[in-house]
Amino acid sequence: MKDDKKEVKKEFLFYDEDEHTQFLNYEAESKELLADIVISVNNTIGANILFNYNMFFEKGIDFLIEEYRTLYLAKLPNHLDFRAIIENQTATSFNLLHQQISDYNHLVRRMGNQAPSITTSGILKSNVKKENFKKYLDPCKKDFYEYVKKLLALADELDQFMDVLNTKEHLIRFVAFRGLKGFGNELEINLKYFVYEK
């Protein structure tokens, strides 16, 4: 039996510059947070020590404590409060570091698949690409989109025959669906309503 599935050609609607800028700002903020975190880690275990930041963000403060313990406190008994010992020896504030990690992870979750990658050495690699902010027409809404375009074109044509009437201005009063949006006496297609969500 032959598979009759056809790949639907995506129809470009618009480039969402606002969303792209927002994600670039998130990325800049995450870079600042990561830089602060790297400084804290380096001040705690030493700048020349190889440290796995991916494991650190996965396991949290406990991973840093275990690394420090392995490097510098391996001979001490297990029942000691290693967090307190490390804070005293290094002047590291684990509460501040925990908050920085929490803020960083919150940004990463907000960014979804646009979130930056971290190398094991703590260097941020960008995943925010301009092409990811191109928006395409939802094939299920294509007919509706075409009718909305026709409606606006017909409103412009109708204005040619009327001296006083601004058809779009009057249509704004009756806009009860998400396909159109009005600003003042302007009416336009609400492109975000017609975007294909993957």
Distance CA(15)–CA(24), nearest Å, equals 15
* pLDDT number for residue 191: 87
H or E element, residue 14 = strand 12-15
Nearest to 192 by CA among 109, 111, 133: 133
Dihedral, 44, 45, 51, 57 alpha carbons, nearest 10: -30
Nearest to 72 by CA among 59, 56, 60, 85: 85
Distance CA(45)–CA(72), nearest Å, equals 9
Residue 177 phi/psi, 5-degree rounding, is: -130, 165
| DSSP symbol at 156 | H
- Contact (CB, 8 A) for 51 and 45: yes
* pLDDT number for residue 1: 46
Nearest to 187 by CA among 141, 154, 139: 154
| DSSP symbol at 186 | E
Distance CA(178)–CA(194), nearest Å, equals 9
**Looking at beta carbons, which pairs linking 88-96 to residues 24 or more positions away fall under 8 Å?**
90/43, 90/44, 91/43, 92/40, 92/43, 92/44, 93/40, 94/61, 96/40
Per-residue pLDDT of the chain (198 residues; tens, 9 = 90+): 455 555 667 899 999 999 999 999 999 999 999 999 999 999 999 888 888 888 898 899 999 999 999 999 999 999 999 999 999 999 999 999 999 999 999 999 999 999 999 887 778 899 999 999 999 999 999 998 998 889 888 888 887 777 666 777 777 666 656 677 776 567 788 888 888 876
Question: What does the domain layout of the chain look like in residue ranges?
Answer: 15-130, 137-194
Residue 189 pairs with which residues in a beta bridge?
180
Q: What pTM, to 2 d.p., does this model score?
A: 0.77
Instruction: Tell me the three-class secondary structure of 98-119, residue by residue.
Output: HHHHHHHHHHHHHHHHHCCEEC
Q: Which amino acid is at 130?
A: K
